[in-house]
Amino acid sequence: MSFLTRRGWISAVVMALLAVLPPVFFLTGNAFYLDLATRLSILAIAAVSLNLILGYGGLVSFGHAAFVGLGAYAVGIPAHHWLYGGLDFLATTSGFVQVPLAVAVTALFALITGAVCLRTKGVYFIMITMAFAQMIYYLIVSIEEYGGDDGLVIDTRSELPLIDLDNPLQLFGLAYVSLLVAMLLVRMITRSRFGMVLQGAKGNEERMVTLGFNIYAYRLTAYVISGAMCGYAGALLGNFTTFISPEMMDWSRSGELMFMVILGGAATTLGPVLGAIAFIVVEEILSSFTIYWHLPFGLMLMGVVLFARGGLMGLLRGRREDGE
């Protein structure tokens, strides 16, 4: 018996490369790749948290981009008021206020919408999560103060002690470490008793209820955790792009997050990260060739759904999984 399983080794190597390569590129004058890795790490956090609900919970949430967007606006709106006045109680650039705000707002939004969504099943759940996300999209569009459709520029990044988010290396470091923590957190949750219940409910709902589990409460808790983690990712994304707009919450963004999870391999620790890497890299390569890159990209996505079940982790394990 080796110290790590094959999957463990793959995870360690991938995460080590992700830690080392981007700073090396940056220091050798290829700043672009560091930016790419930062964006990738942040989106991977969102994918990892979506995986908790989608992969382990078996709940097809099509609205997770709304959590990312809300998290970003929880950074942008206080920064906006800090610069332009108004709503003094909210005006700040402190990361110690903004980041908890992002987490709290998204957790609350997840609690309220989840309470409604989780009363429904199957295709209803898909459509309702989508609809609630779109509701937030239109809400932000309707608020002119925060730029509406045109979006909002974040003039000042979140201020934190010791870390300077204006420094690309430090921002990447924060995103990367956050990703590691998110992965370990989801891994811990899914292996705990709570996680066993969540996965049991995915496998056989009626059995779990008959055993005495109020699976609604477990699912809602997982939904809130997942939403809040996405909110955190959103706060990082706002700090990274320094420009936020409702477009971040468009349902195609939610679809992309889902794809990262499925592409990499749902219900695995590394899967969503692999998915995010593959997604971002392919996107970069294709879009450098043609402005019509969505065409081959869409065909690729369809191909993945039709032919490559089990995702990249399934391929890496060397055997095909038979789906659910």
Q: How far is the CB of 28 from other proteins (least distance, A)?
A: 34
Q: What is the total count of residues that contact other proteins (CB under 8 A)?
A: 72
9 three-state secondary structure? helix
> Residues 6 or more apart from 177 whose CB is under 8 A from it?
none
The dihedral through the CA atoms of 210, 214, 219, 225 has a sign that is negative
Q: Which of 16, 27, 124, 177 binds other proteins (CB under 8 A)?
A: 124
Binding status of residue 277 toward other proteins by CB under 8 A: no
**Interface residues for other proteins in 236-255 (CB under 8 A)?**
250-252, 255
Q: Is 298 in the site for other proteins (CB under 8 A)?
A: yes
* Inter-residue contact 64 to 226 (CB < 8 Å): yes
Q: How far is CA 30 from CA 22, 27, 174, 272, 282, in A?
A: 9, 7, 19, 26, 19
When asked if residue 139 is in the footprint of other proteins (CB under 8 A), the reply is yes
* Range in contact with other proteins (rule: CB under 8 A) among 70-78, 84-92, 140-148, 168-176: 140-148
- CA dihedral of 277, 47, 181, 198, whole degrees rounded to 10: -140
SS3 of 318, please? coil
Nearer to other proteins, 95 or 275 (CB): 275
Q: Is 126 in the site for other proteins (CB under 8 A)?
A: yes
Does 288 participate in binding other proteins (rule CB under 8 A)?
Answer: no
Q: Which is nearer to other proteins, 34 or 262 (CB)?
A: 262
Residue ranges in 65-104 that form contacts with other proteins under rule CB under 8 A? none
Applying the rule CB under 8 A, the residues between 200 and 229 that interact with other proteins are 200, 203-204, 206-215, 218, 221
Task: Tell me the two tokens of residue 149.
Answer: 């459709």
Q: Residue 319 interacts with other proteins (CB under 8 A)? A: no
Decide if residue 142 touches other proteins (CB under 8 A): yes
> What residues contact 185, with CB distance under 8 A and at least 6 apart?
229
User: Quick one: 28 or 88, whose CB is closer to other proteins?
Assistant: 88
| Shortest Å distance, C-beta 190 to other proteins | 9
Q: Three-state DSSP class for 153?
A: strand
**For 238, phi and psi rounded to 5 degrees?**
-60, -40
Among 14, 15, 31, 60, binds other proteins (CB under 8 A): 60
